[in-house]
Structures are given as C-alpha cells and as structure tokens.
Structure 1
Amino acid sequence: MRVLVSGAGVAGPALATALGRHGIEATVVEAASKLRTSGFAVDFRGETHRRVLKTLGVLDELKAVQTHGGAMEAVNERGERIFRLPEEFAGGEVEVRRNDLSRILYERSLDHAKYLFGDTVTGLTETADGVQVDFARAESRTFDLVIGTDGMHSAVRRLAFGPERDYVKHLGYYIAGWDLPNDRGYGTTSTQYNVPGRMAAVSADFREPSKAGALFVFASPQVDVDWRDVDRQKAMIRDAFGGMRWHVPHLLDTLGDVDEMYFDSISRVQAPRWTKGRFALLGDAAWGVTLGGMGVGTGVVGAYVLAGELSQARGDHRKAFAAYEQRMRGYAGRWQKGTSPGQFLAPSNAALLWLRNAMFSTRAVQKLMVAGTTKLASDVVLPDYPVS
C-alpha cells in the first residue's frame, strides 16, 4: 500500500509510526524545510493516551524529556496572584514540548517512512486505482491513499474536500508564541496577566532555565494575514498589546530578535466527514480547535486507530475509513463541544474576566476540571490491532 501523509507536525509522524507497526510504508511531505523547533508544551493524560503511546513505542522516550509541567497562575499588574491552577491541570500526566514529541515520533517512524521536506501538495486527481499527486517541487507520483495531517489550514482538505471557509470557523481570537532569553528570572510556573480581550503569559523552560517562552492571546476579527509573513504578525501583536502593563513591554521588545514564531487564529474545524474516496483527514485537519483540550493526544489516538483499521481491512480503504470515522467521531467531538479557548484565556469583557477569575479561584472547580479532562481522554474503547 502506497500512502502519502501530508504534514510532519505531530499527527503525521504518529501515523507514519503507527502504519510502520503494520508493515505499511508511508511518504510524508512537509512544507517546512525541517522539523519545526517552535511550539508549546502538550500533555497526555489517562489510560487511553498511555496505552497508545506505549504501543507506538514512545512512552519511555517521552517520559525522559517531559517538562514536568508547572502550575498555571494569573496575576494582576503588580504581580499579585489572582488564582493558581494545579500542576495536574496544566501539565497532565506526561507533558512534553511539542517539538520533542514531533522529533521522537519522526525518529521512530524512519524505518518505514520517507520524508519530503520543503515541499507541499498542489494537486490531487483520484482515479480508479489511486491518486495522482502533484507537488510544488517533486515530480508527480501516484499513491493508493492520501491522508491530510496538515493542520487547521490543511491543503489536502482544501484540494479534496473543499475551500477552507467551508470548514474552519474563526472564534474571534489570535494566538502568538515565541522563545526569548530568560534574563528576567521568570519561573517555570506559567504566569499570565489579563485585561479584557488580551492575555500575556511567560514561563521559563523547565529543562533550560536560561530560556523562556511568551504566549499572547488577543481578541480580533478575522484578518487576511499570510501565515509566513512574520513581520505582519509582529505588527499585529504590537498593535494589540501596546500600552499594556506588567512584563508586556519587555516581552514585546524581544520580538525584534525573533525569526521563528507560532502565530495562528483561534478557530474550530467543522468537518461533517473526514473521509472521501481515497482521502482521509486526521488530527487538526479533521477536528482541530486551536489550543482545544486534548487535541494533540486525540490526534495520536486517531493515528493509532486509522493505521489499525487499514491493517485489519487488508487494504480495503472504504471499510477502514468507515470504521475509523465510527470509532473516532464521538471521541474527538467531545473536545469540540462549546470549546472556546480564547474566552477561557482572554475573556472579552470585564464581567467575564471577573467571573473566570472567581471560578478558577475555587478548589472544587479546579478538581472538577482535572477529573473531567482525564475522564474524557480515556472515554473510548480501542481494539488491540495486533501486528500481523
């Protein structure tokens, strides 16, 4: 079986690793020239996540590089604490940097996968026995299946299912993150400061305390911005946060030295179907919500399920795709219902900001949040998918 996977973030290497367990080789195409080094910490929690990571053979490696996610706290402009969320809420059971997760899955997949960096899919033509794929740089090739793991702005979804505007809903916020020198002694606890519609947060890197990471969230209508135009993105951030107090002026000053940053709209993907003919969507391309709960963990679970169903169906992609959607639709959908990360991180008005702060200052609410996310992460029954 010739499988093309578009996207080498997390879901793509996870799928390549899972396919490799069943002896299925994949070609992974990635627009970036190499694995990305930026990104936030991501976490896994619950028996389902642990089981899938162990089956893929990466659990011990991830534990070796975990960041031991600290607590998360909100402060006023004088640095006085408003509320503090415990470590188990912010970091789950295993927390790692996204780039470490991507790298470990990539290395695990190399025995059965080939990677095309610095290229992207530009055309897809389905035929009776395959899909002709056109690339921006490489020569056209034919594959049996094409899987889009290329994120919220998926090229595969656009080419095979329809334009992005039909599937992606802007939720009224943007998010930006970048690395900076920790010359102010920031701690490993992620500390955030809010005014209505804006949030600035900073924390030290657990393994490299000389480095820190900034995370900014701000309310904004949808803007036509090129995702590669870093200068335009920086201008949007400076416009949104100019005049804000706390450590914000210093964090904005560090933008001048930033070459690579994370910048995206906070959006939700609403796809009525994840498969069509010889095409399938996985991860954020199928069910993404920017910063939405267990999105990364759900993507890894989906990779395990999709690869397992393809193996069990012995090449019958119609049967495999139907089973994949049936198993994952309810599980992934739970994380999307009513999710609005922007309103959680940067409530849009003073009343909502006060209400959020009051709620998260309550121990009972904190315990319910931790218990609820752990339960949802394991609320799915997965087959064993034995290796033949």
Structure 2
Amino acid sequence: MNILISGASVSGPVLAYWLKRHGFTPTVVEKAPTLRKSGGHAVDLFKPAMDIVERMGALDAIMERKTGTEWITMIRRGTAKPVNIQVSRLMGGISARHVEIMRDDLSEVLYDATKDDVEYVFGDSITSISGDGEVTFERGAPRRFDLVIGADGLHSNVRRLVFGPESSFTHWLGAYIAVATIPNYLDLGDRMAGMPTVGRMVGVYSARHMDDARAFFFMRPAGQLDYHYRDTARQKELLREQFADLGWETPRLLDEMDRAEVFYFDSVTQLRMDTWSRGRVTLVGDAGYCPGPAVGGSTSIAVVGAYVLAGELAKELAGGQGAARGDHSRAFAAYESEMSEYVRRSRDFAMTAAKRLIPGSGAEVWALINGARLFTSLPTRLTRAITRRGGGNLGMHDTFEPKDYGALTPAHPPA
C-alpha cells in the first residue's frame, strides 16, 4: 500500500518509520527545499514519546542533542534578586522521562532514522487530492496513492485542501509568541533567563551545542492583532509596541530581534476539529489537533499520534483482522478513538497554561514565580504524586500508554 505523507518535520518522519516497519510504502513530500538547519526553538518530549523514539533506535541521538538547560532564572521586575528554578526538578515532577531538544535537531534525528528506507521529495507541495487517490503537485508529476496523511503542521496545506479554510477550526487562546535567532551575547549554555510581567513574558536561552541563542516573547494583548502572517516587519513592529517599556535585557533583545534573519511569529491558536479524517485522507500532529504552540505538549502528542496512526493502519490493513480487513476508514476511526482523550486533555491543559505563562495581574506574576519555586523545592517523588492525583492535566503525558503494535510488524520488514 502506497501512502503519501505531507510534512517532514516531526510527525511525518515518525509516521514514515512505523509505516515502513509495518510493511507499507510511505513517501514524504516536504515544501522546504531541504531540512531546516536554523536550530528552531526548544521543544519537549515526555514519557510516551520518549518510549516511542527509543523503540525507533533514535534515543541516543536525541540525548546527544538535548539542550542541556539546567536552570531557569526568573527576573522579577523592580526587584534585584532573581529566582532560580532547577529544570530537572520542575520537569521531573511532570513526567518520569523528559528531554528538551531544539525542534530542527529533532527533525534531523528523525529524518536520519528514516532516510535510507523512505522516499523523501523536498521542494514540492500538494496542490490537489482526488477521491480516488490521484495527487497533483506544484512541481512533480501527478501520482496515485492509496492514502494521504497531512503531517504539515498548524497551517496544514492538506487540511486546507480537504477540510476547508483554517479559520473554520481555530480557537485563539488570547496570546502570541515570537522567537528570534540572535547572538549568544549572554554566554548562556545551561540556563534560560526570563522576565514575566503582567500580560507579557520575555526571555532568552541557548543550548550546550549551539553558538547562537533564542530570544522569545509571549504577550497577551487586549485583542487580536492586525498583521499578515508573511509580514515580518509588521510583526517585529508589534513586538516593539508591546515590549518597549520593559527593562532588564529587553531593549537589547528587541534590537537583536530586528536584525534577526531567522524569526518566527504566530498566534497561540488551538485547533478543534470534530474529525481528522475524510475519505482517503487523515491528519496527524499539529495538522489535526494542535493544542497551541508552546503551551500544550504538541511535539510529544505529534510523535504519539504518528505511532498510533501507523499501528492502527497495520492492525486493520497489514495485519488484517476480522471481516473489516482492508478498511482504512475503520483504521482512521480507531486512531481517532485512541487519541481523543489525550488530545482533549492537552487542549484543556493548553488553555490553562497560556494564562499562567502570561500572567494577567501582579498577583498572578507572584503566583507563577513562587509556585514554581515551591514545586521544585519538594522531592520529585512528592511532586510526581501531586501531578498524578491533584494536578489536573499537568501529568497527562505519563498517564497515556500507547498500545504495543509490535506484533503486527512483518517478520522481515522491507529494507
């Protein structure tokens, strides 16, 4: 069975790996001409995703490229003394297994795990998908596929072509995020430094293997901002308007942002779809269920979703069970059923996290800093018990246990 995957960032390569293991023939098309090498921004992998990448044989490469951030230094506006928070204690209370890695580093590791067995087509994009599986491209000749999977992110092209405009499914969480690649002038390696204030947070971090750094800006304006998603000059202007009055390193970070060639700006937007599948097409990761950039654990969920989708397709099509053997629509439905609770909890968590990360009052700024300080002062065993029993969706990742689809893998997977 030939399966086309749109997107070579995170969920696309993971899906391709497991589809190949289960005996399918995946092809990955990526609009970018090559894998991005700018480093991206930092993302988190939690226990279920860590377990999956370990099964892929990619864990050692991921651990070699982890950011190495050991401390978060919280700068309190108007107060000289900062608050230092140990990352291992903070994240250890949330998940039993965790790693932070730059997104583009993760993409490269996942690509390396699949490039010898999977066809990748760079510098092209899907323009149409017919009901019988014929796919046309911007540059390449038309091809026919049995299934098409959109793994192309929050602003998915596949979703637009099959389900309609993005605006039909998005829910703004009231915030915006920006990340700029800047010189590591503070010589950061194992530390992230940030200043939360009412309605805003600004900060900077690097990674142990990087020569540069990332400046980040979170903001919660009174209403939605007026800008075009490709107009970076306007986006930088909006950031200056929102952050110009802040002290600490903010003026320098804004100056470096103006000079930055690698710059990301987006709304913190959540996708809400009744179904991720239609006909021969389904969506995975941010393309189908983005909980919100930087607030909902979307990278981990993308890894898990890709693994589950491949497994359910194998169970239904490659494995062949019962009278429904060969029915991809049943596999899609099983995939959605398997992931629905995890996705729902991630959405709920993201809505709360967006408010807490960008406090709405002085009291909330105090609660953010001192709550983190108190949480990390407790033994990890206790904080993990708190998140499991009374932390709402804070410990949602460790409570999700994907099925083991290993028994469905052919005895001699295709080389």
TM-score when normalising by structure 2: 0.85
Aligned to 1:303: 306
Note the alpha carbon deviations across 1:336-364, whole angstroms, 9 max, x for none: 11523432221133343233334333237
Name the SS for the 1:362 alignment partner: helix
Could you tell me how far 1:58 is from its partner in structure 2? 0.9
Note the alpha carbon deviations across 1:107-147, whole angstroms, 9 max, x for none: 111133222323222222213xxx22232222332221111
Which moved further from structure 2: 266-275 or 91-100?
A: 91-100
Provide the rounded CA distance (Å) in 2 between the counterparts of 1:79 and 1:40. 29
Provide the rounded CA distance (Å) in 2 between the counterparts of 1:59 and 1:360. 29
Aligned to 1:383: 404
Equivalent residue letter for 1:302: G
Aligned to 2:115: 110
Q: Which runs of 5+ in 2 are unaligned?
A: 318-325, 411-415
Q: Which runs of 5+ in 1 are unaligned?
A: none
Note the alpha carbon deviations across 1:141-162, whole angstroms, 9 max, x for none: 2221111111111111122122
Aligned to 1:34: 34
Could you tell me how far 1:380 is from its partner in structure 2? 2.5
Aligned to 2:128: 123
Aligned to 1:96: 101
Equivalent residue letter for 2:217: F
Name the SS for the 2:130 alignment partner: strand
Change (3 A) 1:79 1:59: farther
Change (3 A) 1:259 1:355: same
Name the SS for the 1:116 alignment partner: strand
Structure 2 counterpart of 1:175, from 171, 174, 177: 177
Provide the rounded CA distance (Å) in 2 between the counterparts of 1:242 and 1:301. 40
Name the SS for the 1:245 alignment partner: coil
Could you tell me how far 1:79 is from its partner in structure 2? 5.1
Is the Cα–Cα contact under 8 Å of residues 181 and 261 in structure 2 kept in the other structure? no
Aligned to 2:259: 257
Aligned to 2:61: 61
Provide the rounded CA distance (Å) in 2 between the counterparts of 1:306 and 1:320. 8
Provide the rounded CA distance (Å) in 1 between the counterparts of 2:402 and 2:137. 38
TM-score when normalising by structure 1: 0.90
Structure 2 counterpart of 1:236, from 235, 238, 249: 238
Provide the rounded CA distance (Å) in 1 between the counterparts of 2:253 and 2:312. 47
Provide the rounded CA distance (Å) in 2 between the counterparts of 1:354 and 1:342. 16
Change (3 A) 1:29 1:232: farther
Is the Cα–Cα contact under 8 Å of residues 90 and 375 in structure 2 kept in the other structure? no
Provide the rounded CA distance (Å) in 1 between the counterparts of 2:89 and 2:12. 27
Name the SS for the 1:303 alignment partner: helix
Could you tell me how far 1:55 is from its partner in structure 2? 1.7
Change (3 A) 1:89 1:17: farther
Could you tell me how far 1:211 is from its partner in structure 2? 2.3
Is the Cα–Cα contact under 8 Å of residues 16 and 112 in structure 1 kept in the other structure? no
Which moved further from structure 2: 246-255 or 376-385?
A: 376-385
Provide the rounded CA distance (Å) in 1 between the counterparts of 2:4 and 2:14. 13
Note the alpha carbon deviations across 1:58-109, whole angstroms, 9 max, x for none: 1122122222332323212455224625324358632221111100111111
Is the Cα–Cα contact under 8 Å of residues 276 and 283 in structure 2 kept in the other structure? yes
Provide the rounded CA distance (Å) in 2 between the counterparts of 1:95 and 1:370. 20
Change (3 A) 1:49 1:222: same
Is the Cα–Cα contact under 8 Å of residues 62 and 96 in structure 1 kept in the other structure? yes
Provide the rounded CA distance (Å) in 2 between the counterparts of 1:271 and 1:75. 39
Could you tell me how far 1:197 is from its partner in structure 2? 1.1
Provide the rounded CA distance (Å) in 2 between the counterparts of 1:253 and 1:135. 40
Is the Cα–Cα contact under 8 Å of residues 46 and 397 in structure 2 kept in the other structure? no
Q: How many residues align?
A: 383
Structure 1 counterpart of 2:364, from 352, 368, 378: 352
Identity %: 35
